[in-house]
């Protein structure tokens, strides 16, 4: 297994746990590649950890085609860091979970992407071609700006499906490998 001193934070909002489950699979993938991962919900943000991380992955459920209200509050609360360019040059990526197959998730990834660009971060997408559209397939929702997953109205041990969780794992591995290619 490759080793690295790179650190990655994953910060998410997840009232019902589905987005959190996806976050945990991204973390597993990144850890597998030797990156140190800090997983945190927006209710428990560790600002000093975010400030020190080499990369930050942002995750929100899709609410009416947008990030959730609490996630937007988190975004706005980074304004001092935006002003001081504190996060400029850090790697960034985004993910969103929704109930609908589309659910207008693209809009959420675009919002997170613009937020990261406003901060001067280095955006990483999901360069994985869809392997099909069944629930066991990698990138079944064929997203490239970031990771999209979909959950039914059911417990987190049932949904999102296997393919989405495998895609989250792949995304974490990819981000970790990309992070390790960047020189400090
Ligand atoms: C206020 C609200 C708005 C929502 N809007 C959408 C939506 O626009 N599209 C969609 O597919 N699902 C929508 N959903 C479903 C959520 O995306 C889904 O419940 C969420 O991703 C579950 O994530 P969590 O378990 O991490 O909280 C909405 C849910 C709520 C509560």
Answer whether residue 78 is part of any domain: yes
- pLDDT of res. 2: 52
- pLDDT of res. 184: 80
Closest ligand 1 atom, residue 15 Cα: 27
* Token pair belonging to 82: 């935006």
**Burial class of residue 181 (count of CB atoms within 10 Å of its CB; 0-12, 13-18, 19+):** exposed
Q: What is the mean pLDDT of residues 82-102?
A: 98
Domain holding 51: CATH number?
3.40.50.360
Q: What is the extent of the structural domain holding 111?
A: 7-181
Answer whether residue 172 is part of any domain: yes
Q: How many whole angstroms from 60 Cα to the centroid of ligand 1?
A: 9
Rounded to an integer, what distance in angstroms lies between the CA atom of residue 59 and that of residue 39?
A: 11
Q: Is the pLDDT of residue 177 over 80?
A: yes
- pLDDT of res. 66: 98
Question: 112-167 pLDDT, tens per residue?
Answer: 999 999 999 999 999 999 999 999 999 999 999 999 999 999 999 999 999 999 99
Answer whether residue 152 is part of any domain: yes
Answer yes or no: is the C-beta of 2 below 6 A from any ligand 1 atom. Answer: no
The angle at the Cα of 22, spanning 78 to 73, to the nearest 5 degrees, equals 20
Considering Cα of 60, then 128, then 172, then 125, what sign does the dihedral take?
negative
- What are φ and ψ of residue 33, in 5° steps? -90, 10
Answer yes or no: is the C-beta of 16 below 6 A from any ligand 1 atom. Answer: yes
Question: 43-91 pLDDT, tens per residue?
Answer: 999 999 999 999 999 999 999 999 999 999 999 999 999 999 999 999 9
Rounded to an integer, what distance in angstroms lies between the CA atom of residue 114 and that of residue 168?
A: 21
Answer whether residue 67 is part of any domain: yes
Answer whether residue 2 is part of any domain: no
Among 61, 94, 107, 150, the mutation site with the greatest number of ligand 1 atoms within 8 A of its Cβ is: 61
Domains in the chain, number: 1
């Amino acid at each position: 297994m490759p080793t690295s001193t790179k650190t990655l934070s994953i910060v998410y909002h997840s009232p019902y746990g589905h987005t959190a489950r996806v976050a945990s699979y991204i973390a597993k993938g990144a850890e597998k590649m030797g990156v140190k991962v800090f997983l945190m919900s927006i209710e428990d943000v560790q600002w000093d950890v975010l400030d020190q991380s080499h990369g930050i992955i942002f995750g929100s459920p899709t609410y009416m085609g947008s990030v959730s209200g609490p996630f937007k509050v988190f975004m706005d609360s980074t304004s001092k860091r935006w002003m001081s360019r504190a996060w400029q040059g850090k790697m960034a990526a985004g993910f969103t979970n929704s109930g609908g197959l589309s659910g207008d998730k693209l809009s959420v990834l675009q919002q997170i992407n613009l937020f990261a660009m406003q901060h001067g971060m280095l955006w990483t997408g999901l360069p994985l071609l869809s392997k099909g559209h069944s629930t066991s397939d990698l990138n079944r929702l064929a997203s490239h700006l970031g990771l999209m997953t979909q959950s039914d109205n059911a417990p987190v041990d049932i949904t999102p499906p296997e393919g989405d969780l495998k895609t989250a794992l792949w995304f974490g591995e990819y981000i970790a490998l990309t992070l390790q290619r960047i020189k400090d």
